[in-house]
Amino acid sequence: MTTEIYSPGLEGVIAGETAISTVTGGLRYRGYPVTELAEKTTFDEVAYLLLYGELPTAAQLADFQKRIAAARCLPGPLINLLGAIPQGTASMDVLRSAVSILAHFDADTADSSRAANLRKAERLLGQIPVAIAVHYRLSKGQQPIAARPDLGHAANFLYMLRGKESSAADARALDVSLILYAEHEFNASTFTARVVCSTESDLHSSIVAAIGALKGRLHGGANEKVMELLQQTGGPAHAEKWLRDMLARKERIMGFGHRVYKTGDVRAGILKTYARQAAEAAGSLQWEETAEIIERILGTEKHLFPNLDWPAGRLYHALGLEIPLYTPIFVMSRVAGWSAHFIEQAENNRLIRPRARYTGPEVRSVKPMAERG
């Protein structure tokens, strides 16, 4: 007799194989520690690594950047739609719809070959930041700003939002955050993308589904809640009392704890430095000081440690980015990882179809209508 094993949330369950990344022994992309990638590469290089398996040569990177630059435009009907979406619509809902619409204008949508999937992935890398920036500016009553072919992923995004070139420090800080968000093994959104792929659906459908999964506050939406949480504290002078009141009510502190990282997320440590530097440049350290108090108490008393969302929310705030942009920024990074997983799943596919443990009534017979009460 086979013994059923039930693991709520699939915790600890090995649900597939991947050569893209691992969190065992520290996060690594294709074998490279994320600490080294954040120090020595750019997001453009990391995106190439995830899609093609190796870090690019100078010539390969230049060609890759040219292809991405050529993709940084949207079909006219999509721009019109982005301008017509009701004010107040959740930014992730807008982005989900934008990616779905992009599928209708992509000549490779129905082509499931590896080459076509790579072309579609590259186009989405270019198109998603444009969709985010276009909707943001239109929602503010401003005209969209065309991308520049000479700027990298992070610098271009800031340019399209602000209408002026960002400082090297701002661009690098955002770029590092994109590197750290780019890939994370079988997280909820990536697994969602692989499930959709396993049915032999298309890349755009998988990315749309992944965006839906990422929207939730227990996944990507957590970075939006970080600044809301910090602002609720009232600042450094009130942070400890606010936190202890939260703990007394047993409320969840967003930005802390992780299903996999029990002793801390190395990505959070990397980005913390950039968050503080950005806050110093912005001339306000109150939220960094507030964060330090919360980190200290949760670490020493509850053994809870920050995850990547904790410094990311603070960094984006210090860069002057509004909260509705935070999770879409996650998307414009993670689409590289999602696409890599889609391609890997498609090339060694088996339909993902788990079983459930039934907890309903035992077998019973249907009574005639007259006997039902």
H/E stretch holding 189: helix 188-198
Residue 43 pLDDT more than 60?
A: yes
pLDDT (0 to 100) of residue 262: 60
Across 55-70, average pLDDT: 97
Q: Which two tokens stand for residue 148?
A: 């520049």
Annotation marks residue 153 as catalytic:
no
Q: What pLDDT does 285 receive?
A: 95
- The pLDDT of residue 364 is 95
Percent with pLDDT over 70 in the chain: 98
Q: Is 150 a catalytic residue?
A: no
What DSSP line would sit under 66-78, residue for residue? HHHHHT----HHH
Q: CA–CA distance from 6 to each of 10, 11, 181, 257, 362 (Å)?
A: 8, 9, 30, 23, 20
- Residue 139: count of CB within 10 angstroms of its CB: 17
Q: 20 pLDDT band (50/70/90 cuts)? A: very high
Alpha-carbon distance 246 to 240, whole Å?
10
d(CA 321, CA 282): 12
* pLDDT per position as a tens digit, 243-269: 999 899 988 888 887 666 666 789 999
pLDDT at 12: 80
**pLDDT band for position 221 (50/70/90)?**
confident
Q: State the catalytic residue, choosing from 258, 265, 317, 341.
A: 258
The two three-digit tokens of residue 44, written as one number: 């453009």
- Least confident range of 43-47, 209-213, 292-296: 292-296
Mean per-residue pLDDT for 324-337?
97
Return mean pLDDT, the chain: 94
> What residues form DSSP beta bridges with 46?
none
pLDDT reported for residue 15: 87
Q: What is the pLDDT of residue 26?
A: 85
Domains of the chain by start residue, with CATH: 17-216+323-347 (1.10.580.10), 222-318 (1.10.230.10)
How far, in Å, CA of 262 to CA of 256, rounded?
10
Q: What does the alpha-carbon distance between residue 274 and residue 177 come to, in Å, rounded to a whole number?
A: 9
**Average pLDDT for residues 14-21, to the nearest whole number?**
93
Strand stretches in the chain, DSSP E? 21-22, 28-29, 32-33
| Residue in 153, 219, 317, 341 annotated catalytic | 219
CB atoms near residue 137 (< 10 Å): 19
219 flagged as catalytic: yes
- The active-site residue, picked from 170, 202, 265, 309, is 309
- Interval 175-188 mean pLDDT: 96
Residue 320 has pLDDT above 60, yes or no: yes
d(CA 23, CA 34): 10
Q: What is the per-residue pLDDT across 73-118, written as a single tens digit (0 to 9) for each? A: 999 999 999 999 999 999 999 999 999 999 999 999 999 999 999 9
The predicted pLDDT at position 91 comes to 96
Report pLDDT for 123. Answer: 98
- 169 falls in which pLDDT band (50, 70, 90)? very high
Q: Which of 145, 160, 294, 311 is nearest to 226 (CA)?
A: 311
Classify strands 28-29 and 21-22 as parallel, antiparallel or unpaired.
antiparallel
Give me the pLDDT at residue 4, please. 77
Q: Is the pLDDT of residue 200 over 80?
A: yes
Q: Average pLDDT in the 304-317 region?
A: 92
- The Cβ-side half-sphere exposure at 54, using a 13 Å CA radius, reads 4
